[in-house]
Structure 1
Amino acid sequence: MTAVDEIPDDVVVEILARLPVKSLLRFRCVCKLWRSIISDSSFIELHRTLSFTRAGGNLLLLCFPSVAHWPWRLLFYIDHSEEEGRCNAFRNDFSLSGFSECINGLICQDDPQPQVCNLSTKERVILPTTAMDFPKWIQTSSHCSLRFEPRNNTYKILRTWKVYWSSLVWSPRFEIFTLGSNTWRSLIPESNISVLGHRHSVCVGGTMYWNNLREKNVVAFDVAEERLRLVPSPCRTIHSAIVQLDGRVAMVNYHGLVDGGDSMRVWVQEDDRNGNWSMEKKIVFPSIWRDVKRGMPSFCHLIFETTHGAELVKPEMYGVGCPPSVCNYVESLVSLREIINPNNS
């Protein structure tokens, strides 16, 4: 009997569940028992839960575009357990572009090549090319959102396309992919929907929500039923943000701040099907808000006039010009290989 065999199984589980993924991947080779424990679904869930509070297990990822090459490569992280909040370089083998939020340790990146990866286990699955048949002269852009459907224990990626028919005219397209399948499937919405301008979404009760750009409503996507629909909004969506508040969908309208006022309003959804909302609160900003100068919008250019007043000069500016992709990342042992080939794991 070895020293490992003398340790009770429940104690082994408690110890292993508090270790980082990098160590657990090595410890799978210690013995068959440890490999079985580390690969068990209940242990994987326990480890992920403990990672929320473990040092190095709960990180804030920031992905900046590279200065020399467009594909986003500069990846940094901030460890929530560190009081100083230092920003550290994240060593990775992935050429990440903007990515979706972390779902059970998995993240999904956008163009140029959509893929799902686990940064902890170094696993990556490159998704198939789109099933959409676009004319060659058409310009497109897309955004991927990863979700987990617990009812069937599946991961799904919703891809929203923006198809430019001209410089001023565009239309949305939608398709969905289930990890473990081979092709994308086209998704037909129930109404006129456009969500590309609002990449941020929230997921409550198995349904994803976005602001709809063109109408006074919210876009809802039922992950299990794979159904896109519209839900009436309590306010204009152009100056609003959709958030999750105490497990419910909420709408924060800041039109009052943009329009020179000093307050914003918060509504909470009471009934998803009928679009019933209740006013949660009105938030009034302090008087100092009126003295705050707004920053320059992103579409403006900086132009300086010389002392002679006869020449306009456009200054050269260096550094990171685009905002980073940001998500909260929690370490996880979820195996992409087992999701793709469950019978061969």
Structure 2
Amino acid sequence: MNRAENSDSIPIDLILEILEIFSRLTSKSVGRFHCVSKLWRSMLSCPYFKELYLTRSSARPRLLFVVHSVGEEEEEELHFYSSSQPPIPYDKPSLVVAADYHTTFTSELCNYASGLICFRGKGCSEEEAMPMICNPMTGQYAELPKVIMYIPSKAVLGFDPIDKQFKILVEHFPYSSATNRHIILTLGVPKLGWRSDICCPKYYGYLSEGICISGVVYYLHCARYSKGVYEIVCFDVRYEEFKVIEAQCFNHETPTLINYKGKLGGITGNLNDSGAIELRMWVLHDVGKQEWSEYVYTLPENDDIKLHDFTVAGMTTRGEFVLSMIDTFKPFYVFYFNPEKNALRSVEIQGFRENVSSVKVLVDHVEDFNFFFKRESS
């Protein structure tokens, strides 16, 4: 082995200093340096650097924007942007932030977990799909084995924080029995392939996108359409086990599922009797006992926010609710609401491409290097 390719010839103190410098770079820059040589790839793939980068990235989470548009050839496109989260304290009631563009993929459906995006790629037929997994910040991606996905079929991405494994759960036959309804794929294993050896309780279908919290994927469905009774399907990513819990507290309102300080939360927005915008949230404190708590917050008046013009994107680790506009007409705003201080501020996001049809906002995006992919989008 050439001396330049031998990490044993470099003092350990110097290697640590080099990795310290790399940990301050963007993930896209690190991904490019990863391709320079075997030595650099070895250093940047080591567990020490991955943990160091994750620690630094966790201290500076970002907003991730999934911008949906139709391309010149009438194909659905997903464009990924990000921006830093405004600092605390709230010294200004409104800010203007430029979003950084990262990459584009031809697709229309996506699901998020722990820094990665899973979306449905095109297969050879209308029912056949080629799921893909990507790093939205670097543009690197990997194509997964093809699978049959009918129109109602859904796919959710889950992450097991203990074994550090990503898994993709797909409704293979959405109307079939519990024994063969789902298939699952584990990333990072020697033989990549779909398995059907999982069984779930019977339910009627998704009413919400899946959200992964502490190794459990949650999604909402309607138990009995005539009565409007909701239930939550829970899927343990590590043990590949399902559980269904009642959610009658939602009271016929379809909530947005969010991560509330490591617990599942469901939140809705309405006008109260005084005409003010009110956020009503339910938090699942104990899955086994199915214990829920209810919280109600009234938003301060703000000229930029109107009822039905926003949706709840989630909650930051700092305890702020993030709301975003539903319509994509310029200017586009996100709103930060601090319930403890009863403070609301608007942030105008600039830099999105033209002819945008929708914008999905993901809160507290953290860059991770659990996987390096071989390809990069154009």
Which among 78, 82, 96 is matched to residue 78 of structure 1?
82
Report the CA distance shift for 1:119/1:162 in structure 2 as closer, same or farther (over 3 A).
same
Which among 19, 39, 43 is matched to residue 37 of structure 1?
43
1:146 aligns with 2:157: yes
2:239 alignment counterpart: 225
Q: How many residues align?
A: 293
1:235 alignment counterpart: 250
Q: Secondary structure at the match of 2:222?
A: coil
Task: Name the TM-score, length of structure 1 as normaliser.
Answer: 0.68
User: Where in structure 2 are the equivalents of 1:31-180 lying within 5 Å?
Assistant: 34-52=40-58, 58=62, 60-73=64-77, 75-80=79-84, 84-92=96-104, 94-103=105-114, 105-112=115-122, 113-130=130-147, 140-160=151-171, 173-179=181-187, 180=189
1:288: how far off? 9.5
Looking at structure 2, the residues matched to 63 and 321 of structure 1 have their Cα atoms a distance apart, in angstroms, of 7
Looking at structure 1, the residues matched to 277 and 55 of structure 2 have their Cα atoms a distance apart, in angstroms, of 40
Cα deviation per residue 1:188-242 (whole Å; 9 max; x = unaligned)? 32232421x311x333332122222343321211112222221121232533232
Residue type of the alignment partner of 2:358 = P
Is there any run of 5+ residues in structure 1 with no aligned partner, and where?
A: 133-138, 166-171, 296-318, 339-345
1:210 alignment counterpart: 219
Report the CA distance shift for 1:270/1:177 in structure 2 as closer, same or farther (over 3 A).
same
Q: Secondary structure at the match of 1:216?
A: strand
Looking at structure 2, the residues matched to 257 and 160 of structure 1 have their Cα atoms a distance apart, in angstroms, of 39
Structure with the largest fraction of strand: 2
2:16 alignment counterpart: 10
Q: Secondary structure at the match of 2:370?
A: coil
> Is the contact made by 1:62 and 1:75 (CA closer than 8 Å) also made in structure 2?
yes
1:26: how far off? 4.7
Which among 323, 331, 334 is matched to residue 358 of structure 2?
323
Q: Secondary structure at the match of 2:153?
A: strand
1:16: how far off? 1.9
Cα deviation per residue 1:105-157 (whole Å; 9 max; x = unaligned)? 4211135432112245543222222267xxxxxx6233322112233332101
Cα deviation per residue 1:266-312 (whole Å; 9 max; x = unaligned)? 33223201212233x233467999xx6757xxxxxxxxxxxxxxxxx
> Is the contact made by 2:113 and 2:211 (CA closer than 8 Å) also made in structure 1?
no
1:81: how far off? 6.4
Residue type of the alignment partner of 1:175 = I
1:245 aligns with 2:255: no
1:316 alignment counterpart: none
Percent identity of paired positions between Structure 1 and Structure 2: 24
1:168 alignment counterpart: none
> Is the contact made by 1:141 and 1:161 (CA closer than 8 Å) also made in structure 2?
no
Q: Secondary structure at the match of 2:97?
A: coil
Looking at structure 1, the residues matched to 161 and 308 of structure 2 have their Cα atoms a distance apart, in angstroms, of 43
Report the CA distance shift for 1:70/1:325 in structure 2 as closer, same or farther (over 3 A).
farther
1:95: how far off? 2.3
Task: Name the TM-score, length of structure 2 as normaliser.
Answer: 0.63
> Is the contact made by 2:66 and 2:361 (CA closer than 8 Å) also made in structure 1?
yes
Looking at structure 2, the residues matched to 230 and 20 of structure 1 have their Cα atoms a distance apart, in angstroms, of 40
Residue type of the alignment partner of 1:333 = F
Is there any run of 5+ residues in structure 2 with no aligned partner, and where?
A: 87-94, 123-129, 224-228, 310-353
Cα deviation per residue 1:306-330 (whole Å; 9 max; x = unaligned)? xxxxxxxxxxxxx847423443554
Residue type of the alignment partner of 2:267 = V
Report the CA distance shift for 1:331/1:96 in structure 2 as closer, same or farther (over 3 A).
farther
1:43: how far off? 0.6
Cα deviation per residue 1:39-90 (whole Å; 9 max; x = unaligned)? 1022112113323556xx8452322121434433251413216873123443
Residue type of the alignment partner of 2:220 = N
Report the CA distance shift for 1:321/1:5 in structure 2 as closer, same or farther (over 3 A).
closer
Looking at structure 2, the residues matched to 237 and 336 of structure 1 have their Cα atoms a distance apart, in angstroms, of 43
Looking at structure 2, the residues matched to 111 and 29 of structure 1 have their Cα atoms a distance apart, in angstroms, of 26
Task: Specify the structure having the higher radius of gyration (Cα).
Answer: 1
Which among 330, 333, 342 is matched to residue 369 of structure 2?
333
Q: Secondary structure at the match of 2:43?
A: helix
